[in-house]
Chain A
Amino acid sequence: MGKFEYAPAPESRSIVSLRESYGLFINGEFASSADGRAFKTISPATEEVLAEVAEAGPVDVDRAVAAARRAYERTWSVLPAKERGKYLFRIARIIQERSRELAVLESLDNGKPIRESRDVDIPLVAAHFFYHAGWADKLEYAGYGPAPRPLGVAGQVIPWNFPLLMLAWKIAPALACGNTVVLKPAETTPLTALTFAEICQQADLPPGVVNILTGAGDTGKALVTHPGIDKVAFTGSTEVGKEIARECAPTRKKVTLELGGKAANIVFEDAPVDQAVEGIVNGIFFNQGHVCCAGSRLLVQESVYEQVLASLQRRLATLRLGDPLDKNTDVGAINSAAQLARIRELSEVGEAEGAQRWSPPCELPVKGFWFPPTVFTGVSQAHRIAREEIFGPVLSVLTFRTPAEAVEKANNTPYGLSAGVWSDKGSRILWMASRLRAGVVWANTFNKFDPSSPFGGYKESGYGREGGRHGLEAYLDV
């Protein structure tokens, strides 16, 4: 027992009223799936069943796409742009009003700490809707010609790591540009998307503009291969992303993919060490490392390696792992049994390949899916844990000697989503940023997001950008 033990400070669940079962959201109404199939969604922290959710099949996909097409042709694409903007502003405000409910629901269904869903996810969700609401009637100034046209119906498939935020990244720009959407949330985290469907009703959004289909991989496949959609937007694994690219290649569909990453977080000897350590922690342990742009490869200049590692280990000993709804929790639950198995497998590979594994003393809850914050040292570029995306709270530590070597190692990956540079020298940061092949380069910070800043990858991290002026291109016929 320490001197100052923080008593449990759980956020109340009472603000969330879970329904026993949820239908598909098609044409402004909830309906069960055509074949009556359904699946359960659980809380990964306790394995408690939260609700039953309809599983959409091909018939449901047809209906949803048809509803979206109708809404596109009759309502949304002919609505004056400023009216589209008003709907988005209204949705943004409702999200703010219901932010506590959405945060609790997100933490319940996803396993992420309430501090993150409350302070990061939900505020960013609202910010994305506000930002794109502003664009709706100003698209002629976006740099894509005098009157850029929407594409039509967008089929969107999103992952489980930032369920509502990924929804916002997909739906807000699509709607702002005049498209209608059919969106499939991940099978382990459907609840905030379904609550978002309620918000669309609350905002009186015309029926069919937003359709939400819950389901797993088959539902996603039926959606992206449906001939009635004009645009595919996917965030998820590189493996699935490649399949989607193959499926869509012979079609007229416009595709954007935001896939995996294995980002380098590069710490120079002149870095502000205490803040760099915070950045390392935030880079890989934020959201249990379930972040495509996570700083999973730490590159430390050899001259400060021991100092940085010692500071990092001391800091990790203060991380608080446990109940996602406790306001003092820093590290929550792993999202699913399958993801936990993958993290375990790759960590065992790391050990087998000779890297040294370290975790702070850390008691894991008995029920649910948990993995301690883990650091591998003695990792080289040849190790699998330095090359493959683990998508969990596992950091691989490598060293470098010169800036050129840092760039070389950072770029030596099939991915290229993000990178971080820590140095007090501005000129070095700029030098590095111009050489790193990554969609985002953070300087003296990590995992900072803003709707005005484009996000996206190089190489196997995908193509297309989301957010900012650049992100509008994905939803305009340009």
Chain B
Amino acid sequence: MSAPVDIRAGAGSSLREFLHGLPGVDQVGAEARAAMLASRSIKTTAKQWALDMAISMIDLTTLEGQDTPGKVRAICAKAKRPDPADPTAPQVAAVCVYPDLAHLAAAEVKGTGIHVASVATAFPSGRTSVEVKLADAKYAIEAGADEVDMVIDRGAFLAGDYQLVYDEIAAVREVVEDAAHLKVILETGELVTLDNVRRASWLAMLAGADFIKTSTGKVSPAATLPVTLVMLEAVRDFRATHGRQVGVKPAGGIRTAKDAIRYLVLVNETAGEDWLDPDWFRIGASSLLNDLLMQRTKLATGRYSGPDYFTLD
């Protein structure tokens, strides 16, 4: 990596120079590497460990227009006790909801150690004024969220206005202060190229992100292994040059235990085991949890039970 550059002091042009000076990503090579790691065979004790680790890394998510207080209470109950039949199943890392429901979630998980993540800044498109975005983030924190998942302005990024994207992240960072962890959603499905993913990752980290997150879950493709690979390389290199560790959160499209384990292998062999911790790696998901629980029961008992033996939410 090139020497650390003090971006904060720089004008837009130096930010552009820095981002365009990052080494390129060869898409074919990145996809081949991700596919190779996906072929790792995780069995027995390793699988056991990975299933529990994956459960404890989940941001259990509901982000629908039809979300109600009832739905939020239900996922909070699921978050606290994912498998009522097996108290050894770990609880998840966080619940993730819209800002207007954050206060309900906060009340439900109080004292459990489960975090409350709220999306903000005009999620998912981010198409509104800065004032509204900042107010949105502020509202989420006041409602009790201790993690804010903001979206970047993809339009500005694609138009090359990196400074605008940077300034918005920095402004949200200022509003959030230490009250909450800031996760920055890159919406990689709209950035499309892996070069863009690398640049957006660095941009977000330089602007103060605690976590970089792939997707809103509202755009397809959402999280993919190659995209997550590139983001893991970015946090690894950022720590090496800037001395600060940043987390990674793939979100959307991760539905099976097999998928989740592939992500853990990717973390293990790319950023390294320092990131194998719910403080540094999260998986944004909803239906994934039950598949992890089913596999966990299968491993413990040797038998599959049907989906009816696991609670819906």
Which A positions have Cβ atoms within 8 angstroms of B? 2-9, 115, 119, 270-275, 278-279, 307, 318, 327-328, 424, 444-445
Contacts and interface: CB of A to CB of B under 8 A. Distances in A.
B110 interface: no
Interface string B138-182: 000000000000000000000000000000000000000000000
A7 B43 contact: yes
A445 B24 CA distance: 14
A2 B53 CA distance: 14
B46 A4 contact: yes
A5 to B, nearest CB: 6
Contacts of A318: 269
B44 A7 contact: yes
B25 interface: yes
Lowest 4 A-B CB distances belong to which pairs? Answer: A275-B29, A9-B41, A327-B41, A272-B26
Given A6-B46, A307-B1, A272 B23 contact: yes
Nearest to B29: A275
A2 B268 CA distance: 10
Contacts of B41: 6, 9, 327-328
Given A9-B43, A327-B41, A328-B41, A3 B276 contact: yes
Nearest to A270: B24
Contacts of B50: 4
A115 B276 CA distance: 25
A2 B40 CA distance: 16
A279 B30 CA distance: 11
Contacts of B40: 6, 327-328
A6 B43 CA distance: 7
Given A274-B233, A278-B33, A327-B41, A7 B46 contact: yes
Given A6-B46, A444-B26, 18 more contacts: A4-B50, A4-B264, A4-B268, A5-B46, A6-B40, A6-B43, A9-B43, A119-B39, A271-B24, A272-B29, A274-B33, A275-B26, A278-B29, A278-B32, A279-B29, A307-B1, A318-B269, A327-B39
12 contacts: A3-B49, A4-B264, A6-B46, A7-B44, A8-B43, A271-B23, A272-B23, A272-B29, A274-B23, A274-B25, A274-B29, A444-B29
Contacts, number: 75
Given A119-B39, A275-B30, A445-B28, A3 B45 contact: no
Interface string B250-281: 00000000000000110011000100100000
B42 interface: yes
Most B Cβ at <10 Å: residue of A6, A273, A318, A327: A6
Given A3-B276, A328-B40, A444 B28 contact: yes
Contacts of A115: 39
Contacts of B46: 4-7
Contacts of A119: 39
Contacts of B233: 274
- Summarize B's interface: helix, strand, loop or mixed: helix
A2 B25 contact: no
B47 interface: yes
A278 B221 CA distance: 25
Nearest to B275: A3
B49 A4 contact: yes
A8 B42 CA distance: 8
Nearest to B44: A7
A417 to B, nearest CB: 22
Contacts of A307: 1
A225 B268 CA distance: 54
B193 to A, nearest CB: 12
A328 B26 CA distance: 25
A4 B32 contact: no
A327 to B, nearest CB: 4
Best-surrounded residue of B29, B45, B47, B276 (most CB of chain A within 10 A):
B29
A8 B47 CA distance: 11
A444 B29 CA distance: 8
Contacts of A272: 23-26, 29
A119 B26 CA distance: 22
B42 A6 contact: yes
Given A3-B276, A274-B23, A9 B42 contact: yes
A67 B1 CA distance: 63
Contacts of A424: 24, 26
Contacts of B43: 6-9
A235 B25 CA distance: 36
Nearest to B49: A4
Interface in B30-64: 30, 32-33, 39-47, 49-50, 53
B291 to A, nearest CB: 20
A8 B33 CA distance: 22
A2 B26 contact: no
Contacts of A274: 23, 25, 29-30, 33, 233
B205 to A, nearest CB: 17
Nearest to A446: B29
A444 B46 CA distance: 34
B295 to A, nearest CB: 15
A115 B38 CA distance: 12
Contact of A3 (B30, B32, B265, B273): B273
Contacts of B30: 274-275
Contacts of A270: 23-24
